[in-house]
Amino acid sequence: MTRSSRQLWHFHGGLKLESNKAISTQSPIVKARLPKRLILPVQQHIGEAGALLVKKGDKVLKGQAITQSTEYVSAPVHASSSGTVIDIDEYPAPHPSGLNTLCVVIETDGEDKWTELQPTHYINTKSPAELRQLIRKAGIVGLGGAAFPTAVKVNPGPQAHIETLIINGAECEPYISCDDMLMREYATELISGCGIIQYMVSATHCLITVEDNKPEAIKAIQAVINEQALHTIEVVSIPTIYPTGGEKQLIKVLTQKEVPSDGFPSDIGLLVQNVGTAVAVHKAIVLGEPLISRIVTVTGEGVKQPQNMEVLIGTSMSELIEQSGGYHDDACKLIMGGPMMGFTLQTDHLPVIKGCNCLLVENTPEETPATMPCIRCGACASVCPAQLLPQQLFWMASSKNFELVQDYHLFDCIECGCCAQVCPSQIPLVQYYRFAKTEIWSQERDRIKSDHARVRHDFRQARLELEKKERAEKLRKKKELLEKKKIAEAAAKNDTPETEIDPKKAAIEAAMKRVQDKKAAKQNNNTSSDE
């Protein structure tokens, strides 16, 4: 095996955390029951939402697209099972804001009937661009949690040359084990998916990286590699340090290279994909199946039977909890994602979305430790995997100095939570960074809007000015015309002899004469009758 001989490096900082993964890896992946209702948010990814393809009352088949991408950075959503669209409206979605978002609600018919699928049997008959199109149509997004459209990520541009494909199976966050179980049970599909992506970006070799606390997964993948005698795919065991699953941290560990602050891994010849994404790519190309399900870890001390489940996208979280034995009596907090980077959900009546890797139920009573003033100990800076100065960022964010906080590279922060974890004053540091980030984005949106308004206002001013000028010009022309007419008339009066009478005048005179004649005639008649 080559994995022991490969040299590895360290990224700055990081933490050794209690992994707590074993509680959910005791049983194999369970298929969740087909729910009665599927709620599918149209926006489940980074980028633009697609345009709706269905309307209320439509019958849909499993795998049928219900939205269509209109922008480049976008991914369509597919019906996870067959049934009828019973509503298209705003429903609560799993998001830290707890706000509603546009969803398509499907009442399942229980038949789970697939739409016609178009599998690709020989990958080599298709060009990378054609495969990208297939991935795009299958609605695949990064399943590690960020949910960035995969078709965009595997197209790093014509000048980028991808040397190595890195498949991220590190899964460094405590409690989460969906990637671990996926690697154990879908190793063949994973290797197939790796091969497809490798072919698409023409990477010379592929490294599947797994933390050394997942020996079963490493064994399963190695067995498939040995069986198929693959030389370009290699499984690498890496030390378990949080957050080694971060893209930039993983690259540092494997290659010692650093991704530029505002750059992408493709700038240094690398592409990183999650293991779940690789399996989804295999399903999309080899089987023709779009992304309609994913593996979700349902775990934590607050749930009775922690396990991993294969779940149709759009299934209600409450059903997963119910099928995992339900809540313990002392369960108090539901988190989507892990304990470090996840966010608290207000309710479990929310659909599972493509980026939902874990449902964590905590039972530790939420004793909010009293936040104390920063003592400038610098512990946060020593653990920061992005080599930032968390303490400085904190001062700047809390004093709303949004320009300076960007100069200190706020946007390189991956919100891993290491700084908040080690802070002796219990300052919720990441919240400050999230606050600053969303505030900066909001100001940027306002700036774009005000620039737009300025252009429109200026245009209106210019238009009003022009209209005023045109009106003045018209008035001037009319006046000129009138003047000319007057002059012409005056000239005509002087020129023509008096005898020639104006036809209008003549007409009036003639009319008056007629009236006088009539009057005279009447008078004559009256006098004659009197006689």
Footprint (CB under 8 A) of other proteins, residues 357-416? 371-374, 394-395, 397-399
435 binding other proteins? (CB under 8 A): yes
318 binding other proteins? (CB under 8 A): no
- Toward other proteins, which CB reaches closer, 32 or 422? 422
* Contact yes or no for 310/371 (Cβ under 8 A): no
Residue of 95, 205, 219, 328 interacting with other proteins (CB under 8 A): 95
Per-residue contact string for residues 28-67; x = within reach of other proteins by CB under 8 A: ---------------x------------------------
Q: Which helix (H) or strand (E) holds 38?
A: strand 37-41
427 binding other proteins? (CB under 8 A): yes
Dihedral through CA 269, CA 272, CA 278, CA 280, nearest 10?
-120
What order do you get walking across the sheet with 307-312 strand by strand? 30-31, 307-312, 293-299, 358-362, 333-336, 343-345
- Toward other proteins, which CB reaches closer, 41 or 385? 41
Q: Which stretch binds other proteins (CB under 8 A): 30-38, 166-174, 305-313, 426-434?
A: 426-434
- Toward other proteins, which CB reaches closer, 84 or 101? 101
* Contact yes or no for 101/91 (Cβ under 8 A): yes
Q: What are the structure tokens assigned to 287, written together?
A: 């089987």
Provide the β-strand partners of residue 345: 334
Residue of 6, 36, 349, 456 interacting with other proteins (CB under 8 A): 456
432 binding other proteins? (CB under 8 A): yes
Go through the chain and tell me how many residues it has. Answer: 531
Residue of 27, 387, 443, 525 interacting with other proteins (CB under 8 A): 443
| Cα-based distances in Å from 124 to 54, 117, 128, 246, 429 | 34, 19, 9, 32, 49
347 binding other proteins? (CB under 8 A): no
Q: How far apart are CA 38 and CA 194, in angstroms?
A: 31
Rounded least distance, CB 435 to other proteins, Å: 4
126 binding other proteins? (CB under 8 A): no
Residue of 346, 459, 479, 513 interacting with other proteins (CB under 8 A): 459
468 binding other proteins? (CB under 8 A): no
Q: Which helix (H) or strand (E) holds 153?
A: helix 150-153
Residue of 454, 471, 478, 493 interacting with other proteins (CB under 8 A): 454
Q: Which stretch binds other proteins (CB under 8 A): 74-82, 88-96, 158-166, 483-491?
A: 88-96
Residue of 216, 451, 467, 483 interacting with other proteins (CB under 8 A): 451
Q: How far apart are CA 287 and CA 118, in angstroms?
A: 7
431 binding other proteins? (CB under 8 A): yes
Number of residues that bind other proteins (CB under 8 A): 40
Q: Is 173 helix (H, G, I), strand (E, B) or coil?
A: coil
| Cα-based distances in Å from 421 to 64, 124, 175 | 44, 48, 16
Dihedral through CA 177, CA 183, CA 184, CA 189, nearest 10?
140
Provide the β-strand partners of residue 293: 312
* Cα of 406 vs its chain's centroid, Å: 23
- Toward other proteins, which CB reaches closer, 457 or 514? 457
Residues forming the site for other proteins (CB under 8 A): 43, 93, 95-97, 99, 101, 371-374, 394-395, 397-399, 425, 427-428, 431-432, 434-435, 437-439, 442-443, 445-446, 449-454, 456-457, 459-460
